[in-house]
Amino acid sequence: MSSVKALEEVLKDWEAVIGLEIHAELTTLDTKMFCGCKLEHGAAPNTHTCPVCLGLPGALPVPNKAAIESIVLAGLATNCDIEKHSMFYRKNYMYPDMAKNFQTTQGPIAFCMRGSLDFEVDGAGVAERIDVDGLGPGESRGNVTMTDDGYVAHVGITRIHMEEDAGKMVHIGGDEGRIAGATHSLVDYNRAGMPLIELVTEPDLRTPEEARLFMEKLRQIYLAIGISDCSMEEGSMRCDGNVSLRRRGTAQLGTKTELKNMNSFKNLHDGLAFEIRRQAEVLEEGGIIYQETRHWDPTAKRTIVMRVKETADDYRLFPEPDLAPFDLSDEFIEGVRTRLPELPDQKKRRYRDAFGLSAYDARHLIEHRATADFFEAAMACANDVSLAKPLANLVINDVTARMNADADFDLASSPLTPQRACDLVKLLAADDISSKQGKEVFAAIIDDDADPAAIVEARGMRQVSDTAAIEAVIDQVIAENADAVERYRAGNAKLIGFFVGQCMKAMRGQGNPKVINRILAQKLK
């Protein structure tokens, strides 16, 4: 695809239309969707199975109430209407990973319908959204409202429905576990019948970056409400990306392709970006897009056809005769609502209102639950709103850098306790140590498991901020350098550096440069 245009070029002529289907396994539950088998990650193959999840004749399913509570919680957290009356259907297909030969799923009416999510786009992602070019902060167009550093996009959620996972196939004898060239395949039914929820968005997303940010936002929410561990690597959260193109200024939707099982935020973004460029090339050459399922190969950096899209008829969807329709009560729904914790948007607002932080700082602090919890614990130790900004800086810059650099670094159990972070920030705020020394202390807290005060003491770092001591040194430096003082007063302002250097030398580097500068300026007037 070397001849193919860059994404930015394509997006000038074409509008991309993107809708996501996002699966999340309810990993925090104890048992499967329709039987009492334990959910246990990494258990020996086929040790958590029973007649129900193996689909043996005569076995009857019983819905997992905790799973229904989880999906209702997800719906409430994403502004969905909760449908009191819904039911399960059989989606029929024959494949060895599903011993029943059908998947139990929901039909036209799901537990959660008609929701929405807002998310912020800033940085490089803003440039991809060229149709809002020229709008100022507060102005809106379509589903977008501009902010000071980007925009907020409003995206509709069609539904969230309940279903069950299939077993896991392992192909033996081929390349890298692929089915091609394999001599035989093994099936592990531990995962069969695992509770799974699928969220479907309206085709409201317009750029690969929006797709990525929507997915991140949803993941934050699911983690906050505690329904899944949302691990993209381990497949407990996975995403299909649907995308089509239409000429800018036209309204009719084009034919879409579907990218299956994107297992990282980067793959989702890059796969969609590639697919947009590929479709543009096909369309510009007068070709047509076939509705098909494609696979993104991140190594080869291209998408390849997996299969032509099956239609709903192929699945012979029909009502599940072994499960009664649901009739959720108001008490049940309101009971679930009381379990809603503070959601990421609410937390962001609180950080701005209670701590006076900027939108940027609040957004980055809440990005990970670990950093948000840590920040709040440190603020509790500090008990001083004026330390919010320096603490936020410490968490956003130093702590995040450490987390990124060292995958094994676990903030919750590291020697960097909230109390130590708070003590370090206090030393900095009081000018007891310089910002450069602050970095050294930060590293030493983690590497030596020591308190900031002890590190400062042991390394003789404490800056002398005592003004009387500094004044005495300055008086002496001025007395010993009468000619320099004269030249300074005659207009050679650069000499201030010389005086600061002399004072620092006299104090063996321990003087507080801010205080020295301030007093020197007064005395040399």
Question: Which residues of this protein are in contact with Zn ion, per CB under 5 A?
Answer: 35, 37, 50, 52-53
At CA 106, angle to CA 100 and CA 110, rounded to 5? 165
The least distance separating ligand ADP from the CB of residue 18, rounded to whole angstroms, comes to: 6
Q: Cα(501)–Cα(495) distance, rounded to whole angstroms?
A: 10
At CA 268, angle to CA 262 and CA 271, rounded to 5? 100
Contacts of 293 (CB under 8 A, 6+ apart): 257, 258, 259, 260, 305, 306, 307, 308, 309
Q: Which of 90, 256, 269, 277 lies at the binding interface for ligand ADP (CB under 6 A)?
A: 256
Closest CB to Zn ion among residues 15, 164: 164
Q: Which of 10, 20, 272, 422 lies at the binding interface for ligand ADP (CB under 6 A)?
A: 20
Q: Cα(409)–Cα(392) distance, rounded to whole angstroms?
A: 19
Q: Classify 279 in phi/psi space as left (phi over 0), alpha (psi -120 to 50) or beta.
A: alpha
Q: Which of 62, 179, 253, 380 lies at the binding interface for ligand ADP (CB under 6 A)?
A: 253
351's tokens: 């950080």
Q: Cα(424)–Cα(402) distance, rounded to whole angstroms?
A: 16
156's tokens: 């509709």
Q: Cα(193)–Cα(54) distance, rounded to whole angstroms?
A: 9
Q: For residues 84 and 112, is the Cβ–Cβ distance under 8 A? A: no
Position 153 contacts ligand ADP (CB under 6 A): no
* Binding span for ligand ADP by CB under 6 A among 42-50, 90-98, 248-256, 282-290: 248-256
Position 271 contacts ligand ADP (CB under 6 A): no
Closest CB to ligand ADP among residues 201, 502: 201
Residue 363: name the closest of 374, 376, 354, 372 by CA.
372
The least distance separating ligand ADP from the CB of residue 86, rounded to whole angstroms, comes to: 17
Residue 253 touches which of Zn ion, ligand ADP, none (Cβ within 5-8 Å per kind): ligand ADP
Closest CB to ligand ADP among residues 242, 414: 242
Q: Which of 70, 86, 242, 437 lies at the binding interface for ligand ADP (CB under 6 A)?
A: 242
Position 293 contacts ligand ADP (CB under 6 A): no
Q: For residues 198 and 22, is the Cβ–Cβ distance under 8 A? A: yes
* Binding span for ligand ADP by CB under 6 A among 19-27, 117-125, 361-369, 454-462: 19-27
Q: Which of 19, 61, 193, 390 lies at the binding interface for ligand ADP (CB under 6 A)?
A: 19
x/- track of binding to ligand ADP for residues 163-202 (CB under 6 A): -------------------------------------xxx
Give the number of other CB atoms < 10 A from CB of residue 28.
15
DSSP secondary structure, 155-223, as one string: EEEEEEEEEE---EEEEESSGGG-STT-SEEEEETTSTT-EEEEEEE-S-B-SHHHHHHHHHHHHHHHH
Position 203 contacts ligand ADP (CB under 6 A): yes
Residue 200 touches which of ligand ADP, Zn ion, none (Cβ within 5-8 Å per kind): ligand ADP
The least distance separating ligand ADP from the CB of residue 256, rounded to whole angstroms, comes to: 4
Q: Which of 10, 11, 17, 37 lies at the binding interface for ligand ADP (CB under 6 A)?
A: 17
Burial annotation 196-233 (CB, 10 A radius, 16+ → b, else e): bbbbbbbbbbbbbbbbbbbbebbbbbbbbbebbbbebe
Helices (H) and strands (E) in the chain, counts: 18, 16
Position 244 contacts ligand ADP (CB under 6 A): yes
Contacts of 505 (CB under 8 A, 6+ apart): none
The least distance separating Zn ion from the CB of residue 315, rounded to whole angstroms, comes to: 23
Position 105 contacts ligand ADP (CB under 6 A): no
Q: Which residue is nearest to ligand ADP (CB)?
A: 19
Position 292 contacts ligand ADP (CB under 6 A): no
Residue 149 touches which of ligand ADP, Zn ion, none (Cβ within 5-8 Å per kind): none
Residue 424 touches which of ligand ADP, Zn ion, none (Cβ within 5-8 Å per kind): none
Position 243 contacts ligand ADP (CB under 6 A): yes
Residue 131 touches which of ligand ADP, Zn ion, none (Cβ within 5-8 Å per kind): none
Amino acid at 211: A
- Which 3 state secondary structure label does DSSP give 88? strand
Position 157 contacts ligand ADP (CB under 6 A): no
Residue 243 touches which of ligand ADP, Zn ion, none (Cβ within 5-8 Å per kind): ligand ADP
Query: Given the rule CB under 6 A, which residues bind ligand ADP?
Result: 17-21, 200-203, 242-244, 253-254, 256
